[in-house]
């Protein structure tokens, strides 16, 4: 059973939409769950998805009452770029546009489907609907992702990403140049009050910290800068939201880009370039790096470096 208090960002929203957001399921599935009596509001079973709730009300939902879905199947035609593997881990360089695991609207063609075709043993590792997955990247992002190949690896890696002892660095191209060449954005993130489907910096959000360093400056065709970003927390869309909050949104970001030009990019300029963690079998610190994806590298080559860049 999942228990949540309705956040201010969802004040006035219908029960079915709130349940869909809380459980990351479709609205129709949420409606079915409500009809089945699996949702309570302030302790009372609610069978209508149409009523609207107020901030502060308590919502509980039992996801176990959802129809059990078939586990994902292996698909050999899904491209998977593996840069390292052993008996416990698989390190992948994820492609742009590739969804990490099956979910609403993406039942096949995901990274997990491709991995299962090559490493069928991971079907028993971790959660059934996303076997082996211990952390994620947005579909539009590229770069490094570690997957657990054994259950012992899964149990060792999950806490490292939860307590952030596993570290990740990203390359991000943003509009403009931050005033400080090195800084930390410390601002809580939660659901946007204007659009609950988006995240935003909000006073009652969850703690979030992003460190950045300016590593390159460009002046044409527009003033922009290349940053190296490190996550001290791991909130949804954290880098994208934090950089937009200081008025330096990612170039190419359709959601948080503040309606600025994309300079020809078809996705946000965000690449997971460095990954470091303790190996689950040996305990030794291991690290992996990934060069910029081809589309990002090609776009960067078109920019004119600023005199001090």
Write the pLDDT tens digit of every residue in 186-226.
999 998 888 877 899 999 899 999 999 999 999 999 999 99
Beginning with the edge strand found earlier in the chain, give each strand of the sheet holding 58-61 in spatial order. 2-5, 58-61, 39-41, 44-45
Exposed, middle or buried by CB within 10 Å (0-12, 13-18, 19+), for 251? buried
* Chain centre to alpha carbon of residue 91: 17
Residues forming beta bridges with residue 287, ordered by sequence position: 276
**What does the CA dihedral 107, 240, 225, 180 come to, rounded to 10 degrees?**
-160
Residue 274: predicted pLDDT:
98
Q: Where in the chain is the domain with CATH 3.30.2350.10?
A: 69-163, 169-271+298-305
Tell me which residues are annotated as active site.
Answer: 138
Taken as a whole, the chain contains a residue count of: 309
CATH number of 69-163: 3.30.2350.10
* Contacts (Cβ under 8 Å, ≥6 apart) of 174: 224, 225, 227, 243, 248, 249, 250, 251, 269
Residue 257: predicted pLDDT:
92
Exposed, middle or buried by CB within 10 Å (0-12, 13-18, 19+), for 208? buried
CB of 251 within 8 A of CB of 173? yes
CB of 288 within 8 A of CB of 145? no
Over the chain (309 residues), the average pLDDT of each successive run of 10 is 82 90 79 88 92 92 69 94 98 95 78 97 93 93 98 97 94 97 96 84 93 96 96 91 97 93 93 98 98 96 87
CB of 36 within 8 A of CB of 48? no
Positive or negative, the CA dihedral 159, 164, 170, 176 is: positive
Exposed, middle or buried by CB within 10 Å (0-12, 13-18, 19+), for 115? buried
pTM summary value? 0.80
CB of 263 within 8 A of CB of 221? yes
Q: Give the separation between CA 233 and CA 251, rounded to whole angstroms.
A: 22
Q: Could you give the maximum distance between any two Cα atoms of the chain, in Å?
A: 65
Residue 104: predicted pLDDT:
58
Residue at token pair 């491709």? 114
- Phi and psi dihedrals of 73, rounded to 5? -105, 155
Residue 194: predicted pLDDT:
81
Which CATH topology does 2-65 take? 3.10.290
Which CATH topology does 169-271+298-305 take? Pseudouridine synthase (3.30.2350)
Q: Give the separation between CA 53 and CA 15, rounded to whole angstroms.
A: 7
Q: Where in the chain is the domain with CATH 3.10.290.10?
A: 2-65
| Continuous H helices in 101-180 | 111-118, 151-162
Query: Per-residue pLDDT tens for 255-288?
Result: 999 889 999 899 999 999 999 999 999 999 999 9
Residues forming beta bridges with residue 153, ordered by sequence position: none
Residue at token pair 């082996």? 132
DSSP 69: P
Residue 309: predicted pLDDT:
65
Peptide bond into 146 cis (omega under 30): no
């Amino acid at each position: 059973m999942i228990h949540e208090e309705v956040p201010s960002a969802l004040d006035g929203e219908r029960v079915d939409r709130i349940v869909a957001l809380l459980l990351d399921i479709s609205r129709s599935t949420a409606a079915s769950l409500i009809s089945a009596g699996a949702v309570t509001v302030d302790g009372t079973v609610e069978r209508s998805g149409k009523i609207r709730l107020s901030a502060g009300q308590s919502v509980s939902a039992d996801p176990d009452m959802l129809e059990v879905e078939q586990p994902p199947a292996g698909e050999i035609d899904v491209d998977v770029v593996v840069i390292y593997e052993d008996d416990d881990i698989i390190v992948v360089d994820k492609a742009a546009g590739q969804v990490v695991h099956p979910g609403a609207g993406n039942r096949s063609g995901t990274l997990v489907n491709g991995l299962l075709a090559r490493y069928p043993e991971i079907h028993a590792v971790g959660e059934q609907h996303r076997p082996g997955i211990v952390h994620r990247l947005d579909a539009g992002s590229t770069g490094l992702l570690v997957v657990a190949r054994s259950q012992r690896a899964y149990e060792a890696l999950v806490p490292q990403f939860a307590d952030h002892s596993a570290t990740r660095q990203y390359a991000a191209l943003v509009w403009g140049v931050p005033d400080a060449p090195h800084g930390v954005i410390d601002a809580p993130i939660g659901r946007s009050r204007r659009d609950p489907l988006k995240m935003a910096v909000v006073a009652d959000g969850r703690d979030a910290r992003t460190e950045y360093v300016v590593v390159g400056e460009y002046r044409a065709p527009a003033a922009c800068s290349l940053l190296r970003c490190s996550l001290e927390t791991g909130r949804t869309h954290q880098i994208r939201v934090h950089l937009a909050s200081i008025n330096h949104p990612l170039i190419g970001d359709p959601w948080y880009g503040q309606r600025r030009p994309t300079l020809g990019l078809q996705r946000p300029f965000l690449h997971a370039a460095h990954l470091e963690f303790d190996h689950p079998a040996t305990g030794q610190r291991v690290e992996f790096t990934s060069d910029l994806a081809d589309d990002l590298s090609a776009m960067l080559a078109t920019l004119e470096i600023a005199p001090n860049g």
